[in-house]
Amino acid sequence: MSSLTERARALPLRSRIALLVATAVAFAVAACAVTCWFFVRDTLYDSLDTALQRSVMSTPEAASHVTRSGECIKSPPNRFGLETIQIVDASGNSCIINGQQAIKVSSSDIAVAKGESTGVLRNAKSDDGVEYRAYTYPIQGYQGAVTVARPLGEVTGTLSTLTLVLSLVTGIGVLGAGAAGLLVARTGLKPVDELTDTVEHVARTEDLTVRIPAEGDDEIARLSRSFNAMTAALENSQERQAQLIADAGHELRTPLTSLRTNIELLARSEETGRAIPPDDRKALLASVKAQMTELAALIGDLQELARPDTTPAAKVEVVGFHQIVQTAVDRARLRGPELKIGAELAPWYVRADAAALERALVNILDNAVKFSPPRGAVEIKLDRGTLTVRDHGPGIPADELPYVFDRFWRSPTARQLPGSGLGLSIVARTVQHSGGEVALRAAEGGGTVAVVKLPGAPTPPPEHPA
């Protein structure tokens, strides 16, 4: 059985479908043929039994064929048609009154002759081996019974002809089913062949712009639409990857060029022995350090964006949103000691990656600190999962707000300030992974308001300590 299964699996899908269809049709046709054969057989037997029971002789007529000495008197030829008729006594002896060959007496016939049974229908054989259908019934007032029999050939011949016809019909049906199965498989698998050709083309050429026509609502159409959606997503991912690489190369070029220039100046001073004035040397070293810091920050941002879009389940846990905000506020106060940073934080617990969420909040507060005027104020408030950070800086023009979360996008007014343009992209990504929303809008009276909303609860779950 296992070898047959393995052989079937080794066949092409088209052949397997055709084989399956042929097998199913063959089983159905065979079941119908067998049912029909048994139904016809039973009908023929019932018809023959009815004919035998209608051939019953009256008691005087049956008794007239037996002499006082017990000898049988045969009937004139064809008086009783094709039936073979014989009389059976209680001792099991029989004598023919119509026909050529005696029917073998059975125990059931003797029981009828003794009056122990009212009649019996059975298959019997004559002395020459011919099969008969026999009906034995008692003779009233006489210690004996009459057996009326007809050859089974009239039934078996019809059944043999029916068997031949049903076998031919079954064979033709199976062959037709196999051909129909091949046709159905070829037609039904045509979209699969097209899908296969497309996949092979994509694998060979890496051309993700190819699409498969998807018509209808069947499984093949759904598969085609799913493939088109997959290639579109891959194409989009490939474009974003290429754009990320191009943007990263562009952003890295500036600090690297500046760093290289400064290092070449320091190296040339050492090679030529011409000392750089102390103030200029100090400025060069400060510039090198700043460029190194910018490069490190840019590489860290790129690594953050290069992480998979799905946050590992092991890092997601219930954390205090207000606690993470407080940590980010403390760091912001260190970076802007001259600013007045006020925070009103109501308890709120969320499910998130604590490290990623803290990094995102630090990016938001860094922007607020960076764009705030000297001795300005930053107001921070957390209420029922909604965090607002308001600064009093120059604000963001309305036409630039749609682009603030794009990678490497920087406002023309902020391109002279340090930064990579990736901070807000990281913020949006982290907040979305936590199931929340983030937005920037212009504040009344100037400045910008950053709003972060995260789903959660004011109290921690029982398993999480406050």
pLDDT tens for residues 38-94? 999 899 888 888 888 887 765 566 656 655 545 556 555 555 556 788 888 888 888
pLDDT given for residue 453 in this prediction: 93
pLDDT given for residue 370 in this prediction: 85
- 169 pLDDT more than 80: yes
Average pLDDT in the 280-293 region? 79
pTM greater than the 0.75 cutoff: no
Q: What percent of the chain has pLDDT over 70?
A: 80
Question: What rounded mean pLDDT belongs to the chain?
Answer: 79
- 121 pLDDT more than 80: yes
pLDDT tens for residues 210-243? 777 777 777 777 877 888 888 888 887 777 677 6
Average pLDDT in the 95-106 region? 84
Average pLDDT in the 259-274 region? 82
SS (H, E, C) the chain: CHHHHHHHHHCCHHHHHHHHHHHHHHHHHHHHHHHHHHHHHHHHHHHHHHHHHHCCCCHHHHHCCECCCCCECCCCCCCCCCCEEEEEECCCCEEEEECCCCECCCHHHHHHHCCCCCCEEEEEEECCCCEEEEEEEECCCCCEEEEEEEECHHHHHHHHHHHHHHHHHHHHHHHHHHHHHHHHHHHHCHHHHHHHHHHHHHHHHCCCCCCCCCCCCCHHHHHHHHHHHHHHHHHHHHHHHHHHHHHHHHHHHHHHHHHHHHHHHHHHHHHHCCCCCHHHHHHHHHHHHHHHHHHHHHHHHHHHHHCCCCCCHHHEEEEEHHHHHHHHHHHHHHHCCCCEEEEEECCCEEEEEHHHHHHHHHHHHHHHHHHCCCCCEEEEEEECCEEEEECCCCCCCHHHHHHCCCCCCCCHHHCCCCCCCCHHHHHHHHHHHCCCEEEEEECCCCCEEEEEECCCECCCCCCCCC
The lowest-confidence range among 275-284, 299-308, 356-365 is 299-308
* pLDDT band at 389; cut points 50, 70, 90: very high
pLDDT given for residue 247 in this prediction: 60
pLDDT given for residue 1 in this prediction: 46
The lowest-confidence range among 133-142, 300-309, 341-350 is 300-309
* pLDDT band at 267; cut points 50, 70, 90: confident
